[in-house]
Structure 1
Amino acid sequence: MPRVVTGLARLARDGDRRLAGKRVGLITNPTGVTAELRTAVDVCRELPGVRLTALFACEHGLNGERQAGVRFEDGVHPALGIPVYSLYGPRKAPDAATLADVDAVLFDMQDLGLRFYTYGSTLVYVMRACAEHGVPLFVLDRPNPLGGLRVEGGLLRPGFESMVGAWPMPVKTGMTIGETALMANDALGIGCDVRVVPMEGWPRAMEFPETGLPWMLPSPNIPTIETARAYAGTCFFEGTNVSEGRGTTRPFEWIGAPWFDGRKVADAMNALRLPGVRFHPVYATPTFSKHAGELCGGVRLFVTEPAAYEAVRTGLTLLHTVARLHPDAFAWLPPFRDGMRPFIDLLAGGEDVRLSVAEEAGLHRVLEAWARDADIWTERRKPFLLY
């Protein structure tokens, strides 16, 4: 039996009288399941007195079938015949037309508790839309898979908002998606009628493997909890010419490039004795994304002690080490389009990483500033914690 009862499981077990007689729109993906693998779609469809009239799909699609960054259009659910509205195409949030047959919106997806994971940004956009159109939003809470204690990383700076960071939050929030909704609603003055259906049995120190819940891929390149732990720090490599492991069997746990000296990088990182992590040189040939079809040197990251591991510190230190050991080859990716910021600035929430992290003194300045930001967030979040 699972130790944790999610918001979806509570809804399936107890129902919710606030939904009686309502037409419901559901935002979900393959992670929206109970411990018995009943989908959120089926739970909502079978609620007495409730009519499921619309589905909304964010990045990766309703069925988790699309790779990162792939936009898609609206569709129709093949079995239910109801619309599936894309929130990762021309629109980022529901509009008046897509909410015409909806009295309440339900949100049930497994977030990672990380700023650059786009589900949290979608949540903010949805809250704004629901506030504008007077539609209540029910957030079916789920565990933060990395636990709810550790906060890491700097606060996003004004002017750097994007799909990988919608508001001033740190990289690693230490909050559930329900708690995040409550805090964002207050901090941004959104005015959404947010109703969190809380979990049962989740203490803040609990990581996902202890919950007893099934791990469903929250996105195609986060296949395991080990990936999620690494991603919290190595996602920064998405903004560089180093492969973050997409197209390998160890995305985000392995990074590399054709010019990458895995032995030197692993030795340099291991010499620092960062807590809870070790590095080992590994060759790989990505099948898609960066350096597809090219043999790449690289390193694989092994988290040996999850409770001690500092993902963001590790990721920034790894960035510094790769840049220092490969000064002529390492590079930041240019903006995707003219007028956009470099992607590393969006991931980092500001310019400091791009401008400073290659130098040792700059690395330490960023780490110290981000540690102060994490302390600020830890205090700010307290009124919104549910567990």
Structure 2
Amino acid sequence: MVKTGLDVLLAERRDLLSGRRVGLVTHPAAVRADLTGILDALLAAGVRVTALFGPEHGFDAAGADGAAIDNSVEPRTGLPIFSLYGPVKEPSAEMLADVDLLLFDMQDVGVRFYTFLSTLYYVLRGAAKADRPVIVLDRPNPINGLAMEGPLLRKELESFVGVAPMPIRHGMTMGELARYLNGTCGLGASLTVIGMRGWRRYMWFDETGLPWVPTSPAMPHLSTATIYPGTCLVEGTNLSEGRGTALPFEVVGAPWLDGYRLAEALNKVGLPGVRFRPLSFVPASSKHAGQACGGVQVHVTRRDVFCPVLTGAHLIAAARAQAPGEFQFLPSSWEGKPPHFDLLAGTPRLREGIEAGESVQALVDGWGVEVARFDQERKAYLLYG
């Protein structure tokens, strides 16, 4: 079984926390192998935790996607919970007044636009400004640390769903990302990463022996995380990405789509490691809530060759081709910046090409060069073979 950074800290490096007031940045998926949460584990070990910090969805992971989270109080301990997802996304000097160091532990899903990466960026930046050291406890990249896919984020499209020039699927752990962000973005934080024991880059989460805990309300399973790098792009359209169903990001559709025709068109493409099954579904919330949607379920048949971002691009292009009068890319985002699809993709080129009717293959052909460049840049910050 893989030992997480939390396990290693408690077994070998408690000295790093001795006599210090600790601000804990975390969420419910940061657990030990017996499902003990990090806050309980630290308090049982005698660590002096003085403040808590929560990301998108909140410290308790109960908030909806994109919903601002208020500051609050942890009911069992009375500790203050400072929200890092709302008007303030960077820990301020006031928040850190009773904190000697920040301890960061979050289970990520290995995707650039999953916002825990952005929270990590702002934690490092805020800590550097306040002259507080940061310790990052590492956890597995659940969709492995080898595969990378998608275009690199363009500078002009930086946002909270993209803070650094990396592909959509980056193949790095949070500890490695902390090193990468601190080094390439010039954040200047005093950073210590407590690495894992026994994790290898080829591993998927279900090969680690660790228990899966949903990382957010719409990330219930490893199967969700496997497909998410591609189907999250659907958020930038008027298609339902399956929010409000039991299979978020695994089903995609709309009231005006014919699921049988869509599945047939996608299966004819012969994409690697995936099949599409027609279905009808009724979202209980989010887009098209209460309406019957025709669409497809994405079934991964061979995850070792499956390309989620390529698959997501084909799915969106096929939906638009079937119903060009009804399909729309959303004109803006919740950040009030360029189209949300562009922020997710990291480039306007994919949206513009799909709108122009270009072949998806022509649109993705240049990604390999960009990924290879990123792969070279990231090597200096990797911790595992």
- TM-score range for the pair, normalised by the shorter chain length: over 0.9
Which residue among 322, 325, 328 is the counterpart of 1:325? Answer: 322
Q: Out of 183-192 and 317-326, give the one that drifted further.
A: 317-326
Aligned position for 1:254:
251
Match of 2:253, SS state, is: strand
What one-letter code is carried by the residue in structure 2 that aligns with 1:27? V
Aligned position for 2:261:
264
Match of 2:155, SS state, is: coil
Which residue among 124, 127, 132 is the counterpart of 2:129? Answer: 132
2:144–2:205 contact (8 Å) kept in structure 1:
yes
CA distance in 2, matches of 1:343, 1:231: 16
1:324–1:359 contact (8 Å) kept in structure 2:
no
1:29 matched to 2:27? The reply is yes
Post-superposition offset of 1:361 = 3.2
Match of 2:50, SS state, is: strand
Q: Out of 11-20 and 261-270, give the one that drifted further.
A: 11-20
Pick closer, same or farther for the CA change 1:337–1:276 going to 2, 3 Å: closer
Post-superposition offset of 1:89 = 1.4
Aligned position for 2:205:
208
Which residue among 79, 82, 94 is the counterpart of 1:82? Answer: 79
Instruction: Give matches, 1:1-387, under 5 Å.
Output: 3-48=1-46, 50-336=47-333, 340-359=337-356, 361=358, 363-387=360-384
CA distance in 1, matches of 2:333, 2:209: 41
What one-letter code is carried by the residue in structure 2 that aligns with 1:11? L
Post-superposition offset of 1:337 = 6.3
Post-superposition offset of 1:364 = 2.8
Match of 1:106, SS state, is: strand
2:334–2:340 contact (8 Å) kept in structure 1:
no
Q: After the TM superposition, list the runs of 4 or more consecutive aligned residues in structure 1 that deviate by more than 3 angstroms.
A: 336-339, 358-362
Post-superposition offset of 1:67 = 1.2
Post-superposition offset of 1:18 = 2.0
Match of 1:100, SS state, is: coil
Pick closer, same or farther for the CA change 1:339–1:81 going to 2, 3 Å: closer
TM-score by length of 1: 0.97
CA distance in 1, matches of 2:39, 2:172: 25
Aligned length: 384
Q: Out of 15-24 and 155-164, give the one that drifted further.
A: 15-24
What one-letter code is carried by the residue in structure 1 that aligns with 2:179? L
Per-residue CA distance 1:212-267 (angstroms, 9 max, x = gap): 11100000001100011111110000000000000111110000000011111111
Q: Out of 341-350 and 362-371, give the one that drifted further.
A: 362-371
2:240–2:254 contact (8 Å) kept in structure 1:
yes
Post-superposition offset of 1:168 = 1.0
Q: Out of 93-102 and 14-23, give the one that drifted further.
A: 14-23
CA distance in 1, matches of 2:158, 2:251: 28
Match of 1:159, SS state, is: helix
Match of 1:323, SS state, is: helix
Match of 2:156, SS state, is: coil
CA distance in 1, matches of 2:335, 2:222: 36
TM-score by length of 2: 0.97
Match of 1:21, SS state, is: coil
Post-superposition offset of 1:370 = 1.8
Pick closer, same or farther for the CA change 1:359–1:269 going to 2, 3 Å: farther
Match of 1:361, SS state, is: coil
1:254–1:301 contact (8 Å) kept in structure 2:
yes
Post-superposition offset of 1:101 = 0.5
Q: Alignment RMSD, CA only? A: 1.3
Per-residue CA distance 1:9-28 (angstroms, 9 max, x = gap): 11222343122110000011
Per-residue CA distance 1:164-198 (angstroms, 9 max, x = gap): 11111110000000001101111101111111100
Post-superposition offset of 1:90 = 1.7
Match of 2:365, SS state, is: helix
CA distance in 2, matches of 1:147, 1:17: 31
1:15–1:47 contact (8 Å) kept in structure 2:
no
